[in-house]
Amino acid sequence: MDAIQAPIIQVISQIIRQAPGTISLGQGVVHYGPPQAALDAVRDALGDPGTHEYQNGAGIEPLIAALGAKLQEENGIDVARGSRVMVTAGANMAFMHAVFAVTQPGDEIILPVPFYFNHEMAIEMAACKTVRVPTDEHYQLRIDALRAAITPRTRAILTITPNNPSGAVFSEPSLRAVNALCAERGIYHIADEVYEYFTYGSARHFSAGSIPGAEAHTISMYSLSKAYGFAGWRVGYMVYPEHLASAMIKSQDTILVCPPVISQIAALAALEVGRAHCEPYVRELAAIRTIVMGALSRLAPLAEVPAADGAFYVLLKVHTRQPPLALAERLICDHKVAVVPGPAFGMTDGCYFRVAYGALQKETVAEGIGRLVSGLRTLCA
C-alpha cells in the first residue's frame, strides 16, 4: 500500500481547505441531484422492514430487471446472450471485482494513457502490474501500440469512453478493434462507460458489449453517480460473462455482502424516470463546455487544449518546467482555483492538468475558468 499513489482528489481537497473561497475544477461531480421520484421512493421505503435487511448479493430483482432493459434499449447489450448483471457500490467497486475475477498476482492489465487513477490503484492493490500504453495526440487509442503491449501475463485491456480525464470519445471502429484484439488474444476487454450520456456535438457513445460475440470476453461498467446526480448514494453496475459468476459473487460478498438496499430503491425510481432527467443537464453542460473551451483556448501558446467531446473534463497541457503538483498548489493558494495535476493520470512527460467543469453552472463557470487562465498566465510568465 505504501507504493500506491495517494488519492489525488483527497490531496487537492486538503490544500483547498487551507484556502477558503477556492473554486474547485478538481473533482468530477455534477451540479445537480437525483430526480424527485428517487427521493420519494426512499421516503416510502423507510417503513418497509425489508429495506433494512440483507438482500440478494447481486442486487434486488426489480433493479436487475430494469438495468437489463436499459442495457438492451440504450447500449444494445442483450444480457440473455450469456451475461450477468451485478449492482455494485459505484463503478470503482465494479472494477475491483473485475480485477479480482480475471487476474492472479503478477498479471498485467493494459491501461491507455491518460487513465483514471483509481484504476491503476486497484490493479496494484491486487498485486498486479499496470502496463501504460500511450494514446495519440488527440488522446485516441493506438491499436498497434495496444497489440504490441500484450504479453503472456496480460489479462485485460481497459478502455474508458467518454474518457476520464481527457474528455475524448473513442470511435466505434477503434472500440471494435480493441474488442476483436481481446478475443483474438484470449484476454478481457474491460469497458468503463460511466460517462455514456455525456457527449457533445457529433460525438456518439458506443458500447463494445453490443458487438456480437463480445459477451464471452467483455466486462462493461456503468454508474448512476454522474448521469443521475447520485455520487453519494454509491450505485454502479456491471455486465460480465457468465463464466465469471462464481468469482464475482465471492468478491461482492466479501467486500459488500449486498448493495445498499436504500440506494437500490432510489436507483430503480431514477431509472423509471429515465434519461429524460439527465438530458436537460447535459445540454446545459454542453453550453458550459463551449465557454470553458473558448476561455482555455486563449491561453495559447502557453497551453494546448485538445478536443474534448465527452464527459466533463479537459486535459490541459501547459508549457512550463514547473512541477504540476507545485503549480496546482500555487493556483489554489494564490488564485483560489483548483485543478488536478496530470501525473495522477499517468501524464508524466510534461505539465498537465485535468479541468473538471461538471460542478459548475453558467453563473460560476466564467469566474472559475477566469481564475485559472489568469493564474496560469501569472505563474508561468
Report the CATH number that the domain containing residue 195 is assigned in CATH. Answer: 3.40.640.10
Contacts of 330 (CB under 8 A, 6+ apart): 375, 379
pLDDT of residue 98: 98
Mean pLDDT of 244-265: 97
Q: How far apart are CA 52 and CA 57, in angstroms?
A: 14
* Same domain membership, residue 370 and residue 238: no
- The answer to whether the CB of 358 falls within 8 A of the CB of 29 is yes
Residue 275's CB is within 10 A of a number of other CB atoms, namely: 15
Q: What is the pLDDT of residues 100-151, one digit of tens each?
A: 999 999 999 999 999 999 999 999 999 999 999 999 999 999 999 999 999 9
On whether residue 63 sits in a domain, the answer given is yes
* Residue-averaged pLDDT of the chain: 96
Q: What is the pLDDT of residues 167-190, one digit of tens each?
A: 999 999 999 999 999 999 999 999
Please tell me whether residues 269 and 350 are part of one structural domain: no
Residues 214 and 347 in one domain: no
Domain membership of residue 2 (yes or no) is: no
Same domain, 190 and 105: yes
Of the three residues 240, 273, 306, the one that is the final residue of a domain is 273
In this structure, is residue 1 part of a structural domain? no
Number of domains forming the structure of the chain: 2
Residue 162 shares a structural domain with residue 181? yes
Can you read off the three cell numbers belonging to residue 366? 466564467
Q: How many CB atoms lie within 10 A of CB 231?
A: 18
Q: Give yes or no: residues 22 and 120 share one domain.
A: no
Q: What nine digits make up the cell of 122?
A: 486497484
Task: Mark whether 67 and 205 lie in a shared domain.
Answer: yes
Report the C-alpha dihedral over residues 80, 214, 63, 126, rounded to 10 degrees.
Answer: 130
CATH number for the domain spanning 368: value is: 3.90.1150.10
Amino acid at 186: G
Residues 175 and 56 in one domain: yes
Strand 218-223 to strand 236-241: parallel, antiparallel, or no bridges (unpaired)?
Answer: antiparallel
pLDDT at 381: 79
Are residues 223 and 343 located together in one domain of the fold?
no
Of 242, 273, 304, which closes a domain? 273
Task: Kindly state whether residue 3 falls inside one of the protein's structural domains.
Answer: no
Both 139 and 24 in one domain: the answer is no
Question: Could you tell me how far CA 269 lies from the centroid of its own chain?
Answer: 23
pLDDT > 90? residue 297: yes
Which spans in the chain are helix H? 8-17, 36-45, 61-70, 91-102, 117-125, 143-149, 172-185, 245-255, 261-273, 279-297, 324-335, 362-379
Show the domain range for 158: 36-273
Whether residues 321 and 282 share a domain: the answer is: yes
CA angle at 340 for the pair 338 and 341, rounded to the nearest 5° = 125
The answer to whether the CB of 126 falls within 8 A of the CB of 97 is no
CA distance 315 to 298: 15
pTM here? 0.96
Using alpha carbons, select from 230, 290, 288, 238 the residue that is nearest to residue 264.
Answer: 230
Same domain, 237 and 124: yes
Half-sphere exposure of 271 (CA within 13 A, CB side): 23
CB 277 within 8 A of CB 35: yes
Percent pLDDT > 70 in the chain is 100
Question: How many C-beta atoms lie closer than 10 Å to residue 217's C-beta?
Answer: 21
- Measured in residues, the chain has a length of 381
Note whether 193 and 207 are within 8 A (CB).
Answer: yes
